[in-house]
Structure 1
Amino acid sequence: MSDIFIGNQEFFKGIGKISYEGPASDNPLAFKFYDPKKIVAGKSMEDHLRFSIAYWHSFCADGTDPFGKATMHFPWNDSDPMVAAKKKAEAAFEFFTKIGAPFYAFHDIDASPEGETAAEYEANYIEVAAYLKKLQDQTGVKLLWNTSNLFSHPRYMNGAASNPDFPVVGRAALQVKTSLDVNVSLGGLGYTFWGGREGYMTLWNTDTKREQDHLGTFFRMARDYGRKIGFTGTFYIEPKPMEPSKHQYDYDAATAIAFIKDQGLENDFKCNIENNHATLAGHSFAHDLQVCVDHGMLGSVDANQGDAQNGWDTDEFPTNVYETTEAMLIILKNGGLHSGGLNFDAKRRRNSTDLEDLFISHIGGMDAFALGLETAARIIDDGKIETFKADRYKSFNSGDGKAFEDGKISLEKLAEIGKKADPKDISGKQEMLNNLVNQYLFNR
Structure 2
Amino acid sequence: MSDFFEGIEKARFEGAESTNPLAFRHYNPDEIVLGKRMEDHLRFAVAWWHSFAWEGGDPFGGATFERPWHPQDDMGRAKMKADVAFEMFEILGQPYFCWHDADIRPEQGDFAANLKTLEEITDYIGEKMQSVGTKLLWGTANMFSHRRWMAGASTNPDPDVFAFAAATVKSCIDATHKLGGENYVLWGGREGYETLLNTDMQAELDHMGRFLSMVVDYKHKIGFKGTILVEPKPQEPSKHQYDFDAATCIGFLRKYGLENDVKLNLEQGHAILAGHSFEHEIAVATAEGMLGSIDMNRNDYQSGWDTDQFPNNTPEVALAYYHILKSGGFSTGGTNFDAKLRRQSIDPQDLIAAHIGAMDICARGLKAAAAMVEDGGLAMELAKRYSGWQTDEAQSMLESGLEEITARVLDQGINPKPRSGRQEYLENYVNRFV
Q: TM-score of the superposition, structure 1-length normalised?
A: 0.95
Q: Map 1:156-195 onto structure 2 (within 5 A).
A: 156-195=149-188
CA distance in 1, matches of 2:285, 2:70: 40
Identity percentage of aligned residues: 49
What is the identity, as a one-letter code, of the residue corresponding to 1:413?
A: E
**Distance in structure 2 (CA, Å) of the matches to 1:318 and 1:261:** 32
3-state SS of 1:375 partner: helix
Secondary structure, aligned partner of 2:136: strand
d(CA) in 2 for partners of 1:416, 1:112: 70
Measured on the aligned residues, the alpha-carbon RMSD in Å equals 1.1
Determine helix, strand or coil for the equivalent of 1:225: helix
Preserved CA contact (<8 Å) 1:216 1:263: yes
Answer whether contact 1:76 1:91 (CA < 8 A) is retained.
Answer: no
Give distance in 2, aligned partners of 1:289 and 1:116: 38
Q: Which residue of 1 aligns with 2:308?
A: 315
Q: In the alignment, which residue of structure 2 is the partner of 1:204?
A: 197
1:102–1:142 Cα contact (<8 Å) kept = yes
Secondary structure of residue in 2 paired with 1:36: coil
What secondary structure is seen at the aligned counterpart in 1 of 2:292?
strand
Question: Mean Cα displacement is larger for which, 17-26 or 415-424?
Answer: 415-424
Q: Which residue of 352, 360, 372 corresponds with 1:367?
A: 360
The separation in 2 between residues aligned to 1:424 and 1:167, in whole angstroms, is: 63
Mapped pair 1:131 → 2:144: no
Instruction: Please list every run of 5 or more consecutive structure 2 residues that lacks an aligned counterpart in the other structure.
Output: none
2:343 to 346, 350, 366: 350
Give distance in 2, aligned partners of 1:44 and 1:206.
50
Pairing of 1:109-128 with structure 2 (within 5 A): 109-128=102-121
Q: Give the superposition deviation at 1:403.
A: 2.0
- Correspondence for 2:91: 98
Q: 2:344 aligns to what SS in structure 1?
A: coil
Alignment of 1:65 onto 2:58 = yes
CA deviation profile, 1:320-355 (whole Å, cap 9, x unmatched): 111110001001011111110000000001111111
| Partner of residue 333, structure 2 | 340
Task: Work out which of the residue numbers 416, 426, 432 in structure 2 matches 1:423.
Answer: 416
Hey, what does 1:382 align to over in structure 2? 375
Is 93-102 or 288-297 further displaced after alignment?
A: 93-102
Aligned 8 A contact 1:18 1:100 in 2: yes
After TM superposition, the runs of 4+ consecutive aligned structure 1 residues lying more than 6 A away are none
Q: Is the 8 A contact 2:73 2:106 kept in 1?
A: no
The residue that corresponds to 2:401 in the other structure is: 410
- Aligned mates of 1:304, 1:277 — CA distance in 2: 9
SS across alignment from 1:224:
helix
Match for residue 147 of structure 2? 154
> Which residue in 2 is equivalent to 1:278?
271
Code of the aligned partner of 1:363: I
Q: Does 1:437 align with 2:420?
A: no
1:263 & 1:102 partners in 2: Cα distance? 35
> Are the counterparts in 1 of residues 72 and 106 from structure 2 also a CA contact under 8 Å?
no
Match of 1:254 in 2: 247
- Amino acid aligned to 2:356: I
Helix, strand or coil: the match of 2:432?
Answer: helix
What letter corresponds to residue 46 of structure 1 in structure 2? E
8 A Cα contact 1:11 1:76, kept in partner: no
Q: Which amino acid aligns with 1:72?
A: F
- Write the deviation string for residues 45-86 of structure 1: whole angstroms up to 9, x where unpaired: 101000000000000112111211211111334786100011
2:297 aligns with 304
Cα deviation, 1:345-379, whole Å, max 9, x if unaligned, reads: 00001111111000111111111111111111111
**CA deviations over 1:391-430 (Å, ceiling 9, x no partner):** 00011001211223xx432222222233321211210110
2:215 maps to amino acid: A
| Secondary structure in structure 2 of the residue aligned to 1:76 | coil
Q: CA deviation at 1:162?
A: 0.3
8 Å contact 1:115–1:121 — kept in the other structure? yes
3-state DSSP class of the match of 1:83?
Answer: helix
1:75 aligned residue: 68
Please tell me whether the aligned partners of residues 77 and 87 of structure 1 are also in contact (alpha carbons under 8 angstroms).
Answer: no
Q: CA deviation at 1:9?
A: 2.9
Amino acid at match of 2:176: N
Task: Answer whether contact 1:77 1:88 (CA < 8 A) is retained.
Answer: no
Q: Is the 8 A contact 2:73 2:107 kept in 1?
A: no
Post-superposition CA distance 1:220-253 (Å, at most 9, x none): 1111112211211111110011111000000000
Residues 148-188 of structure 1, C-alpha deviation per residue, up to 9 Å, x if partnerless?
01111111111000001100101111110100110111011
- Cα distance between partner residues in 2 of 1:297 and 1:286: 14
